Structure 1
Amino acid sequence: MWTAVYVATSKETAEQVKNILIEEGFLVKMQPLSKKAKDEEFYEVMVPEAEAEDAQDVLVSRGIG
């Protein structure tokens, strides 16, 4: 089961978060959540449920989330 550890307001931000987690050795995937008016998109960055807490710790230590 995959768990969202970050919700980004742009694809670029989601890719940056995804790359940080991959560099730290996590399995990562992202998916669009919804599309709003004016080209505003939201993306979930997800890791396996068992790694979610560690992934969140990494993001917090990097000043993200």
Structure 2
Amino acid sequence: MWTVVYLAPNKREAERIRKLLAEDGALLVKLRPVGAEGDCQAYEVLVPEAEVEEALELLGLR
């Protein structure tokens, strides 16, 4: 099951977080758009449930 670990305000920030988690942490990452379409669209950053703690540590949230 995929779990949201971060809500990015735009695609650029979502891609930055994806890169951090995927390359630096070697985690599987999915991006899922939420809200209205366009440049201001927010994105959920998701990782597998088993990798949530590691993702949060990489993001400095734990």
SS state of the match for residue 35, structure 1? coil
* Structure 1 residue 53: Cα displacement: 1.1
Give the structure with the larger strand fraction. 1
Aligned-pair identity (%): 45
TM-score (norm: length of structure 1): 0.83
- Corresponding position of 1:28: 29
Matches within 5 A, 1:1-65: 1-23=1-23, 24-35=25-36, 39-60=39-60
Q: Distance in 1 between matches of 2:5 and 2:39?
A: 23
User: Contact 2:32 / 2:43 at 8 angstroms: preserved in 1?
Assistant: yes
* Structure 1 residue 40: Cα displacement: 2.0
* Structure 1 residue 12: Cα displacement: 0.3
SS state of the match for residue 27, structure 1? coil
Instruction: Provide structure 1 residue ranges, at least 5 long, that are not aligned to the other structure.
Output: none
Instruction: Provide structure 2 residue ranges, at least 5 long, that are not aligned to the other structure.
Output: none
Give the structure with the larger helix fraction. 1
TM-score (norm: length of structure 2): 0.87
Q: Distance in 2 between matches of 1:41 and 1:55?
A: 23
C-alpha RMSD of the superposition: 1.7
